Amino acid sequence: MWIRRLQLLGGQRLAVSHQWLICKKLLRFQLYPWVPATPAGWQPAEGAAGHGRRATRGLVRLRFLWLRTGAGLRARAPGAGRVELSGSTSGVADDCRDAWASEGLLMLIRSRTDSGTELQAWAPDSALRREPLWTQKLALESEVEDKARDEPGTGSLPLLPCACAYVSPQPPFCRPLAPELRARRLELGAEHVLLLCAAGQVFSWGGGRHGQLGHGTLEAELEPRLLEALQGLPMAEVAAGGWHSLCVSEIGDIYIWGWNESGQLALPARSLAEDKKTFTEEGLNGDGSEVNRTARAEDGASAPFVAIQPFPALLDLPLGSDVIKASCGSRHTAVVTRTGELYTWGWGKYGQLGHKDGTSVDQPCRVEYFVEKQLQVKTVTCGPWNTYVYAVEKEKS
């Protein structure tokens, strides 16, 4: 018998929430800065109580919201398809099939018998009252709807269910995708887009100044471009952070590229080494040369710092574990292994790495909390500055 539980971790030491919530496909946001989320109690869809049944299509899924600022958005699914806003604004929307939020916009897909299925963009201040900023009718064939029900995770926002368009937080809010791409999954970074197609190939486009497109240059791409470095390796997952990208192959390998300014690529980061020195430290040797600042690899040989990794690099986890799920925050990364462990790395100032402190790390570190509590991590989703985890108690034999 699987038991779902809500866990709260950590104290109130840091400004923005670093609380870990365990709830299936439902994200909670803390009000900035100190109000803890009330224990959620995830409400299963009808008929699913006590069983590990997947969510039906009535369940609303929320991605990251802007918890680090004053307005928080809290989603609850007391019944199928309801989105509730609370925090600095409050509001309710029913008949939601999917929801996606960004800094300045909340996107909803709503299905009503009278008006059909519609994509709606709401301003957060609107509290979901009166009219949305913008709407667009969606023609959903029934077979697409069935697909969405059976495979939650496919065709979810920002990818539209028809896989022929995606939503963007900046106008134009709905952008077309070539149907030949056969998009399966789409993720947005701060200035780029990642796409996983049905054949397991990865495409990227948008801004590339931090190497986040993975084509080996810093040039932008206007149209989806195939990641040739990964050709022939079928991918199962893609994840986009603010300025970095990650994909997981079907056999559980991680490929990662983009900006490494906080160690979010698990490569040696200069800023982390510099932060280790106190501010008033001399930092100079006797002859005036700088204290050696290159990183040290495990074998003692010095490894140079990496600021930008412009093409995919294979990343090995400790113990060679296989990865099944991955997600990226603004400047951090989290992955779940087949054995139910959670590894995080990158920017940690707001506790988003779950290592019970605010340090950033530039190598994969296991989150010991789940090991200590004998919890098996199933999946992870990152907000910009925090991380949400779904874990279950290990089955006792």
Partner 1 sequence: MTEGAECPGDPGAGAGALWDALRALLPRTKEELELELGSGVQGAVRLLLRQATELFYGDRLSECLQASEAILDYAWERLNTGPWQDVDKDWRRVYTFGCLLKALCLCRAPCEASAAAKALRVCDLGLLMGAAILGDILAQAAAVLQAHLPSAQRPARDPSQQPPSPKRARREHASVPDVEQERAVPRLHRPSLQHFREQFLVPERPVVLEGVADHWPCMKKWSLEYIQEVAGCRTVPVEVGSRYTDEAWSQTLMTVDDFISRHIVSQASGVGYLAQHQLFDQIPELKRDIGIPDYCCLGDGEEDEITVNAWFGPQGTVSPLHQDPQQNFLVQVMGRKYIRLYSPRDSEALYPHQTHLLHNTSQVDVEQPDLEKFPMFTEAPFLSCVLSPGETLFIPAKYWHYVRALDLSFSVSFWWS
Q: Determine the interface stretch with partner 1 among 10-18, 40-48, 173-181, 373-381 (rule: CB under 8 A).
A: 10-18
Q: Which is nearer to partner 1, 189 or 364 (CB)?
A: 189
Residues 247 and 239 sit within 8 Å (Cβ to Cβ): yes
Shortest spacing between CB 210 and partner 1, in angstroms = 8
Q: How many other C-beta atoms can be found within 10 angstroms of the C-beta atom of residue 80?
A: 18
Residues 6+ apart with CB under 8 A from 303: 268, 294, 295, 296, 297
Is residue 32 a contact residue for partner 1 (CB under 8 A)? Answer: yes
CB 282 to partner 1: min, Å: 6
Question: Binding string, 201-240, against partner 1, x = CB under 8 A?
Answer: ------x-x-------xxxx--------------------
In 19-105 the beta strands, taken as DSSP E runs, fall at 83-85, 91-93, 96-101
229 token code pair? 């470095």
CA 328 to chain centre: 4
Strands (E), 88-182: 91-93, 96-101, 106-112, 116-122, 134-138, 152-155, 165-167, 174-176
Q: Using the rule CB under 8 A, is 69 a contact of partner 1?
A: yes
Shortest gap between Cβ of 316 and partner 1 (angstroms)?
A: 25
**C-beta of 69: minimal distance to partner 1 in Å?**
4
Q: Please tell me whether residue 307 binds partner 1 under the rule CB under 8 A.
A: yes
Q: Whole-angstrom Cα distance, residue 367 to residue 17?
A: 17
Radius of gyration of the chain (CA): 21
Residue 155 or residue 268: which is nearer to partner 1 going by CB?
268
Of 86 and 156, CB closest to partner 1: 86
Q: What is the largest CA-CA distance in the chain?
A: 79
Given candidates 118, 145, 191, 228, which one binds partner 1 under the rule CB under 8 A? 191
CB nearer partner 1, residue 284 or residue 297: 284
**Does residue 145 interact with partner 1 by CB under 8 A?**
no
Binding footprint of partner 1, residue count (CB under 8 A): 43
In one-letter notation, the amino acid at residue 280 is T
- CA 364 to chain CA centroid, Å, is 16
For residue 227, the minimal CB distance to partner 1 (Å) is 19
Residue 319 to residue 251: CA distance in whole angstroms: 15
Q: What SS3 class is residue 93?
A: strand
- Per-residue binding string, partner 1, 146-185, x by CB under 8 A, is ----------------------------------------
Minimum CB separation of residue 209 from partner 1 in Å reads 8
Q: Are 165 and 174 in contact (CB under 8 A)?
A: yes
The least CB distance from residue 171 to partner 1, in Å, is 13
Instruction: Identify the sign of the CA torsion 261, 166, 148, 133.
Output: positive
Residues that bind partner 1 (CB under 8 A): 14-16, 32-33, 66, 68-71, 88, 103-104, 124-125, 190-191, 207, 209, 217-220, 242-243, 270, 279-285, 287-290, 304, 307, 330, 349, 384-385
